[in-house]
Structures are given as C-alpha cells and as structure tokens.
Amino acid sequence: MIARAAEQHGSGNGTSHFVLPASRPESVAPSRRLRTFESFREPAFRWFFVSTLGQMYSAIGQMFVRSFLVYELTDSYAAMGLVALVSGIVQFVLGPYGGVLADRFPKKTVTQVFQFVGLLNAAVIGTLAVLGILEFWHLLISSVSQGTLVALMVPARQAMVSEIVSRDRIMNGVALNTAAMNIMQFAAPLIGGALLATLGAGVTFYVMAACYAIAILTMLPIPTVPAQAGRGSGGLRAALHDITDGFRYIARHRVLRMILLLSFAVSLLGQPFQGLLPGFVQDAFDAGPALAALFMTFSAIGAFLAALVIASLRRRGRGRLLLLMGVFVGAGTLGMAISPWIWLSLPIMILMGVGQAGRMTMGSALIQEQADPAYRGRAMSVLMMQFALMQAGVFVLGIAAELVGVRLAVFITAIALLAMIFLFSALSTTLRRLQ
C-alpha cells in the first residue's frame, strides 16, 4: 500500500531534463568494451578514488572501534544504540542543509572543510585515549560530531561523481566509488581491530586522523566546479526555502520518490543489524574484536564484488535489480538471526554485503541520473538521510535486544523487511519498469 500510495501523489511523470555542465561532454563508449573501470580514464576520478579510500578508512574504522569501545565500557546494547541514535538525530536534522550546501557551494570545497572536521574528531578521541581518560560520554560526543560530518559533507561528496565523469559513466563512477568504500569496509575493521588489540585506542584513532589528512590532500588536484544552483549566499530563511523547494521537487518526481522510499525501508529494517554486530559477535559466539572484524570483512568482500559487477552493467532492468538487492539484505539478516555456526554465518555476511552495496550503488547512481543538476545535492542529501534512519533503527534494535534477546530482535526485523520488499515488488510498477 505504501508503494502504490506514493505513486498516486505528485503531478506529472516526474521525468527530469538533465543538463550537463559544459566542461563535461558525454562520452560515447564502444558497446562491447568492458566497462568495469571506465571512470579511471578520468584523472580527476583517480584522485577522487584515492581520497575516498583515505576518508572511508577513517569513517568506517571509527564506527567499528567506537562501537566496540562503547560495549566494552558499558556492556550494554542500549548504550550502543544510544550512541547510534544521537548520530542519527544529528544526520536527520542537518541532512537537508547538507544538500543546500552541496547545491550552493562548490562540492569539493564543502567536502574538504568537513574532512578537516573529521580529522579533528579522530585526533581528540585519540588524545583522550592516550591520556587514559576516555569515557563513554566522550564517545557519545564523538558520535554527534561524526553525525554532523556525515550530514553536511556526504551529499556534496557523493554528488561530485556526476561532475567528475560524463553522464553515461555515472553508474560506473558511483559503483567504483562504492567499491573504494567497500575496500575500506574490508580493511578498516580488520586494521582497526588489529590496532585496537595491539596498540590501543589512542594509536588507532591517530591513524584515522592521518587518513583524513590524506583524503584532504588528494582532493587538491581535482578541478573545482562552480555550484550548479548558482546561489552562494543567503541566511537561514533562504536555506529553509531551498530545503522546502528540494522536498517539493522530490515529491513531484515519481522515480526519485520511489527510490527513496525503498532506500528508507531497507535502511530502517535491514542495516541496523550491522550497527550491533560487535556486540552480536561477542554475545552469540563469545568472541572479541578480531572475529567481529572478520564478520565485517566478509560483508565487505560481498559489497566489493557487487560494486564491480554493477560497474560493468549497462542501463537496463535496474529497478528490478534494486528490489533484488533489498531481498538479499533481508535474507542475509534472517540468516544471521538463525545461524548457530560461525562457518555458516560468514558466507551469509557476504550475501548481506552484496545486498547493501548493490542497493546503495544503484540508488545513488539512479538519483544522480534522474535529478536535475540544480537539485542533485538536495536529492542526495535526502538519500543520505537513510543513514539517520539506520542509526535510529540501531537504537530501537538495541532496546529490543535488551528485552527479548539479540537473535529474536534481528529475526523480527528481517521478516518485516522481507514483507516490505514484497509489497514494493508487487505494487510499484515505477520500480519494476525502471531502466
């Protein structure tokens, strides 16, 4: 019902007229050429890819290490959920303004400013850990800072792909950027867990701060593209007007609306499990950070493979593929809830990784293709609000895990997600027919 109701509101068919910046002519690729690494032909994209590696190592590593430290300090799923919740609230409140920043100012500039904020955040936590005075409330504040960073920077950074590569390479560029993120999903927990176990939290966070510095420096060679919306000034009232205008645009655009509704459903019901993964591994398998990192590594392997496959695909049947990725997430979550063995749970994490990466890559690429350039940052900011929903879901799942046990709580959310995907598949012709 949700899917059909969403389709029946809004005017027109939501088809947008895409206008490319003059500096980015659309390239024509030979039809039989392997497309997997096409975007690497662009020098700016190669620098962007390296910057993504540096930034995502720090971002993913901090989430993993902070989650483990919270559970270690409090022995509470609810505390883990609270840390996720405060970050999610910040992302939800500030996310739309992040889209305004992405449309009003050069996306490269916005990205570098908030990468520096991330550097400071990691350095401060590292110093507190070295001094031996790190406490739970420090990690709570760090989570708020990280939520602010995600809300205000990620829309600009994600939307940069469409400025760096031509339109026919957007899906390829987004997929390769996702592959870089997934390389760090593979490496960051593994390295972070090893550093935490051997050298302590202080060194671990200092390494993350250094990776943010690398991300900032490798953005320098990328050309700065002027803001597409043509508005670089204005106060709070103007920003609120831009936010409202962006939501109206999305509400009228049927394709964007349906992609976002599906993304929100999966983020709320399917992704929260990974936020409790460190505690889940300790509780279900009586293991420490090394095994939790291994679980995340297997998820990242699946995500990396999915990103490479999507980078090679042509623009056909992508709506059905988006729905299939949601099914993978739900099935993987259900499998983790009922699997009693580590050797079975690890391959299930690969399936979850495929679903998560496939869904996020397809969603981001389709939104960047469908949205007009002047609204692209705001459309991406709404997509990024899925992370706020995920954090809220972590909080709810954490409370449920305290009340009924973590396995039963995860089982219930998995069933709810699969039911929701079935409704979208059955009722939404917009998604089924989307090419």
> In tens digits, what is the pLDDT along the chain, a chain of 435 residues?
444 444 444 434 444 443 344 444 444 444 455 677 778 888 889 999 999 898 888 888 887 788 778 877 887 777 777 887 787 788 778 878 887 887 788 888 889 999 999 899 889 988 988 888 888 888 888 888 888 888 888 888 887 887 888 777 777 888 888 778 777 766 777 787 778 778 888 888 999 899 999 999 999 988 887 776 555 455 667 777 778 888 888 888 877 888 888 888 888 787 777 777 777 777 777 666 667 777 777 887 887 787 777 777 776 777 777 888 888 888 888 888 787 787 778 888 888 888 887 887 777 778 877 777 777 777 877 787 777 777 777 777 777 877 777 788 888 888 888 888 888 777 777 676 766
- All residues at 6 or more sequence positions from 389 whose CB lies less than 8 Å from its CB, including other chains: 88, 92, 264, 267, 268
**pLDDT value, residue 251:** 82
Model confidence, pTM: 0.65
pLDDT of amino acid 234: 57
Residues in CB range of 430: below 8 A, 6 or more apart: 7, 254, 255, 258, 319
- pLDDT at residue 102, rounded to an integer: 79
Count of CB atoms situated within 10 Å of the CB of 131: 9
What structural domains and CATH numbers belong to the chain? 2-12+40-222+233-433 (1.20.1250.20)
| Interatomic CA distance for residues 129 and 46, integer angstroms | 35
The helix/strand/coil state of 23 is coil
